[in-house]
Amino acid sequence: MIKTEDKLMMMPGPVEVPHRVLMAMAKPMINHRGKEFSAIYDDCQRISAALFKTAPENISVISGSGTAGMEAAVGCLNSKDDKILAIENGKFGQRFKKLAGKYGTVVPLEFEWGQSVDLGAVEEKLAAGDIKTITMVHNESSTAIRNPAPEIGALAKKYGAYFILDVVSSLGGDDIRVDEWNVDIAVTGSQKCIAAPPGISMVAANERALAEMENVTTRPYYLDLVAYHKSASKELKETPYTPAVSLFFAMQEALKMIEEEGLDKRIERHYLMTKAVRDAVTAIGIDMFPQLNEVSSYSNTVSAMKAPAGISGEDIKKALNKRGVIITGGQDDLKGKIFRIGSMGATTPTNIMTTLSELEQVLYDLGVAEETGAVMGIAGETMAKLYE
């Protein structure tokens, strides 16, 4: 029996946390209203702004998971009668839709999970009138599809709508350009491509969105982005309420590691590792799950594969777990139909090769693969540039 602590975490979040990030959490406690914490907050704003490609002063750092950031974005920008166009083609788009129903009036635009967003359908909803806000997930990790953020941002601008974008599973592992894409609020979490422990979210809100929030009287109390922005604008930067200080230690260290690696190199590493998974599994007869169109693409950070005929994705997941590799299956109606492998954060080419080797053996044992040994050469060739 392989101990839990010795297993390889290849989920699309939470991911394995580097040792130096874990050690950062062991630092002695500090005053969260003092110079030391202000410096940490400043680092988090400065480095993450380069990932979002926006101004540091737009960033709020919240003690709470990515869902807290999603709720802050929706709840601070919208009142009950405001119409929110909620684009859904996976689990987290569905979550945005549910949040929209708590704070505004939902105008749902639902696609089959894993299916691409139809820009024509989006514009039809916007042209019908009165949409204040659009919500969408950039990288829908539940189905491993990358949705058309620049194109939706252009439509939002055309129709005068606010655009809220979830980049929880793509920031730090893909090219994100919130200002260029006309994104008013973007949300991420600590536990995916950033490779920190769960429990921190970062929200990038532009001046237009922050000005509109002042008019919303039903903003959440703890998740009030206006309060966060004001607290971070003080001479000594702080949060409006007591932060999870140890998680801030970890977040600062994880962001420094991204800065040291270089964002372009980090994005390339994510791309090549994820492509290696796709190349290897398709070569042995496994079909990718997402249904792409001209404006969508495969995720840069996670792969979703269809379970082979007669085999449950849950069986593949359980068999890999016994062999020391933790992946995930499908959610809700997709349970058993797909399985997913993450390529996020501090994941290395060696991690990818190990995972694919064990997967191939599992598929061979289940009678799906006719032989073993094929995936290593294919994946290695795809990732060869990373070894240069």
- Peptide bond preceding 14 in cis form (omega within 30 of 0): yes
- Return the pLDDT at 170: 98
Domain final residue, candidates 225, 259, 293: 259
Residue 342 pLDDT more than 80? yes
Residue 388 pLDDT more than 80? no
Residue 3 pLDDT more than 90? no
Do 250 and 267 lie in a common domain?
Answer: no
Mean pLDDT of the chain: 97
Task: For residue 203, list its beta bridge partners.
Answer: 60, 187
Residue 368 pLDDT more than 90? no
Percentage of the chain lying above the pLDDT 70 cut: 100
DSSP code of 91?
H
Do 63 and 174 lie in a common domain?
Answer: yes
Do 254 and 336 lie in a common domain?
Answer: no
The arithmetic mean of pLDDT across residues 64-84, rounded, is 98
Given pLDDT bands bounded at 50, 70 and 90, which one contains residue 266? very high
- Return the pLDDT at 4: 84
Task: For residue 334, list its beta bridge partners.
Answer: none
Contact (Cβ atoms closer than 8 angstroms) between residue 358 and residue 375: no
- Return the pLDDT at 2: 84
Do 227 and 158 lie in a common domain?
Answer: yes
Do 290 and 203 lie in a common domain?
Answer: no
* Other Cβ atoms within 10 Å of 128 Cβ, number: 11
State how far the Cα of 153 lies from the Cα of 59, in Å rounded to an integer. Answer: 19
Do 155 and 37 lie in a common domain?
Answer: yes
pLDDT, tens digit, 9 for 90 and up, residues 184-240: 999 999 999 999 999 999 999 999 999 999 999 999 999 999 999 999 999 999 999
Do 135 and 26 lie in a common domain?
Answer: yes
The arithmetic mean of pLDDT across residues 138-166, rounded, is 98
- Return the pLDDT at 30: 98
Task: For residue 326, list its beta bridge partners.
Answer: 9
Residues whose CB falls within 8 Å of the CB of residue 262, separated by 6 or more in sequence, listed in order: none
DSSP code of 145?
E
- CATH number at 173 reads 3.40.640.10
Tally of domains within the chain: 2
Do 24 and 171 lie in a common domain?
Answer: yes
Q: Which residue has the higher pLDDT, 20 or 4?
A: 20
DSSP code of 115?
B
State how far the Cα of 66 lies from the Cα of 71, in Å rounded to an integer. Answer: 9
Do 224 and 366 lie in a common domain?
Answer: no
Do 279 and 249 lie in a common domain?
Answer: no
Domain final residue, candidates 197, 227, 259: 259
Do 296 and 374 lie in a common domain?
Answer: yes
Q: Where does residue 129 fall: left (phi above 0), alpha (psi -120 to 50 degrees), or beta otherwise?
A: left
- CATH number at 279 reads 3.90.1150.10
- Return the pLDDT at 315: 96
Do 251 and 330 lie in a common domain?
Answer: no
Contact (Cβ atoms closer than 8 angstroms) between residue 348 and residue 293: no
In which domain, by residue range, is 204 found? 19-259
Domain final residue, candidates 259, 287, 306: 259
Contact (Cβ atoms closer than 8 angstroms) between residue 137 and residue 91: no
- Return the pLDDT at 160: 98
